[in-house]
Amino acid sequence: MATYGYYRLVAAVPHIHVADVPGNIEQLVSAAHDAAGLGAHAVVFPEMSLTGYSCGDLFFQPTLQRAALHGLKDLAERTAELSCVLITTIPLAVQDALYNVAVVLQEGKVRGLVPKSVLPNYREFYERRQFRPAAELRVCEVLLPGFGTVPIGTDLLFSDGEGLVFGVEVCEDLWAVLPPSSRLALQGARVIFNPCASTELAGKAHYRRQLVAQQSGTCLCAYVLASAGMGESTQDVVYSGHALIAENGRIAAESERFSRSTTLTCADVDVERLSAARMSESSYNENRLPQEWQTVRKILLSPLADECDLRFARLQKRPFLPPQAQAEERCEDILNIQAAGLARRMEHTGAKSLVIGLSGGLDSSLALLVCVRACEQLGVAPSCIRAVTMPGFGTTGRTHDNAVRLARLVGADLTEIDIREACMKEFEHLGFDPSRRTTTYENVQARERTQILMNMANMHCGLVVGTGDLSEIALGWSTYNGDHMSMYAVNCSIPKTLIRCLIAHVGRSSSAELATVMQDIIDTPVSPELLPPSDDGTVEQKTEELLGPYDLHDFFLFHFMKYGASPQKLLALAKRAWIPDYDEETIQRTLSTFLHRFFAQQYKRSCIPDGPKVGTISLSPRGDWRMPSDASARVWR
């Protein structure tokens, strides 16, 4: 099986000449060997790449039809030593009718033929003049000269017997109301190949890109399209050689258009991940096909190369962060969802105030900004927000001052309550020696703060707004019934890496003074500040030195939760994405910590407060993640 479910898919656009079959075969053979040298598992060429798509009525000529068949035989013989799959189309006469037929070739053998279903017959295209649509085909196999009897039809699926199952549709098929790829995907195809000849018009590349991405998302599949290039006739139209590879709604790779030489567009596609997404997407499994579409013929391929070094995999280092082009809009959406959830909870409970513990760290700062936005939505003054800063044994001047300045700049009511004396009293009641810096020393402070916030909420008819984020919830990095508890947790589905992004977004539209405070909060090391600071007053207890980088934890959380990645796969993906930013030992150690804590701390997640879901991943025990608190991590570790 390919490495961790990854397959290397290639869209190859050779520089061909119209009707020059022998010359075109040279180009295809060279491109096939180049792609195989890159470790390709499957290669799709443009539509009619043996003959050229723009042959027009030359397709009626038996000479060109025979040349295409001879060319296909030559291509098969000269690529027979390759294990990768090659896909293109040829003009094929069947029962005195001509069809535009996709050819699936491997190890010198034609594995199957897929006729084009939808023939364009408008504007610059008159394909029905030469070809017949697949619906008119009355046979399920043909005698292909030089290859013997070969299955033909739109009901063919091809499989390597492991993770790769693919189907083929041809060019205009994708533009149909119901593309063949939709029903192929519902019958198991995880990859769709499209040998295409799409003309270039102003703005059409953008539309084509959207169409391919959308179909891959709708079908929860990978979609590989190779369109005819600059060698085609420019008599009335121009072909740009646009190649696209999409994976579940996003473009994974794209070629430069208008190249005058052969191009290879490569992507390492995680087919295993696509399968996992289908299991968790009810919309996929709830679809039902008409009875006549519920059977397919599956063609078993020879084994493919089992190694894939992931060099063409597009791995986001911080998968929770929005794409740069969508960052502003996405951040606004997230903040508005958080604020809307909190505003509705205030309306429902009749709360007159919002009570929040403000430490000057990332989480509580974002929660305060959400509180301000909720007040704006409700049309109430931000002074109803009661921000409480509660210095303890580990509070530093930097975080304290940032908390005070932030509260004042947004217009919140600020209260300062020093908890050290109360904690010393609690130590005395417990008979605990405060010189012992154990979890008791830390958790007494956390629970004292929560007690103050809850009591203050009672005094002022308010809600305690929780500040804990998704990363902390995943790792159980909170004090049970301390900062673990609140009346509404606005950050519960916001991972640590995204919090910095959201605060920076608000800072860009804030006053210079407020933006300066927010930037210093972003730059402050993450810490619970429960242990005394160092002699120079700086933070001594740094979370990421104890747990490992949140960059890695969030990366592991995303791939573990969304796609069920195994520990071995998590390690391989993280190494690919994060070396040299983090060394291998750090990645391995952090992964071990993540797996241990994720399982060990489920009991905290089983009783977390309500809070709004803003993305596809949430750990709410009421919907998104239902896991027993005593599940063993053994098989993952």
Half-sphere exposure of residue 240: CA atoms within 13 angstroms, side-chain side: 18
Distance CA 566, CA 570 (A): 6
For residue 383, CA distances in Å to 362, 410, 415, 491 come to: 21, 9, 12, 21
Per DSSP, the three-state class of 506 is helix
Residues of the chain by 3-state class (helix, strand, coil), percent to 5: 40, 20, 40
Distance CA 310, CA 134 (A): 37
* Residue type, position 514, single letter: L
Contact partners, residue 159, CB within 8 Å, separation at least 6: 165, 166, 298, 299, 300, 301
Contact partners, residue 433, CB within 8 Å, separation at least 6: 427
The pair of three-digit structure tokens given for residue 19, joined into one six-digit string: 């009707």
Half-sphere exposure of residue 325: CA atoms within 13 angstroms, side-chain side: 0
Is residue 116 among the annotated active site residues?
yes
Distance CA 139, CA 530 (A): 76
Question: Looking at residue 122, what DSSP letter applies?
Answer: S
Instruction: Write down the catalytic residue from 55, 116, 219, 371.
Output: 116
Q: Are 114 and 104 in contact (CB under 8 A)?
A: yes
Token look-up 């089983």 returns 606
Report the number of secondary-structure helices (H) and strands (E) in the chain. Answer: 19, 20
Q: Comparing C-alpha atoms, which of 161, 202, 319 is closest to residue 250? A: 319
Instruction: Write down the catalytic residue from 84, 171, 331, 492.
Output: 171
Instruction: Write down the catalytic residue from 47, 254, 272, 448.
Output: 47
Per-position DSSP letters for 316-374, written without gaps between them: -SSTTSPPGGGHHHHHHHHHHHHHHHHHHHHHHHT--EEEEE--SSHHHHHHHHHHHHH
Per DSSP, the three-state class of 526 is coil
Is residue 171 among the annotated active site residues?
yes
Active site residues: 47, 116, 171
